[in-house]
A = this chain, B = another copy of it.
Amino acid sequence: MADFSAIATQFVSHYYTTFDADRTQLAALYREGSMLTFQSSQSLGAASIAEKLANLPFQKVKHQIGALDAQPTPTGGIVILVTGHLLVDEEQNPLAYSQFFHLAQDAAQSWFVQNDIFLLA
């Protein structure tokens, strides 16, 4: 998988663009067995994760990626660590965050998020 780095960069760009434009659309990136841990709050499965993301306590949000590194896994997945800042609503001070994604491919070879851990720094 020589292009894991390109897939990771493309995925993360798509993820945050979607998050900032209409985060209800992120449901399409998760599957039944996907896990999200958001500031230690755990959600299992696309429906539950979509509900968690939709109900986060802000309307407007803008992510700015600081750094990103990725690696392949022995089972054909890709693990990604992202650090960055986000601005919510009318807040002037960006919040530093870290996010981890484990991407896997479904039967149709589409990439989806198997594991997702988000922490404010």
Q: Taking beta carbons and an 8 Å cutoff, which residues of A are in contact with B?
A: 33, 35, 37, 40, 66-67, 69-75, 79, 81, 83, 96, 98-100, 102, 104, 114-115, 117, 119, 121
Instruction: Tell me the bound Cα distance from A79 to B115 in angstroms.
Output: 8
* Number of identical monomers bound together in the oligomeric complex: 2
Residue pair A66, B121 in contact (C-beta under 8 Å) = yes
Residue pair A40, B69 in contact (C-beta under 8 Å) = yes
Residue of B nearest to A68 (CB): B119
Contacts of A71 in B (CB 8 A): 35, 37, 115, 117
Please pick, from B37, B72, B73, B121, the residue contacting A83 in the complex, using a CB distance under 8 A.
B121
Residue of B nearest to A37 (CB): B69
With most chain B CB atoms within 10 A of its CB, the pick from A72, A75, A98 is A98
Residue pair A73, B119 in contact (C-beta under 8 Å) = no
Residue pair A73, B115 in contact (C-beta under 8 Å) = yes
Residue pair A121, B121 in contact (C-beta under 8 Å) = yes
Instruction: Tell me the bound Cα distance from A83 to B67 in angstroms.
Output: 14
Residue pair A119, B74 in contact (C-beta under 8 Å) = no
Residue pair A81, B117 in contact (C-beta under 8 Å) = yes
A40-B69, A81-B119, A83-B98 known; 14 other A-B pairs, CB under 8 Å? A33-B74, A37-B70, A37-B71, A70-B117, A71-B115, A73-B114, A74-B104, A79-B115, A79-B117, A81-B99, A81-B100, A81-B117, A96-B96, A121-B121
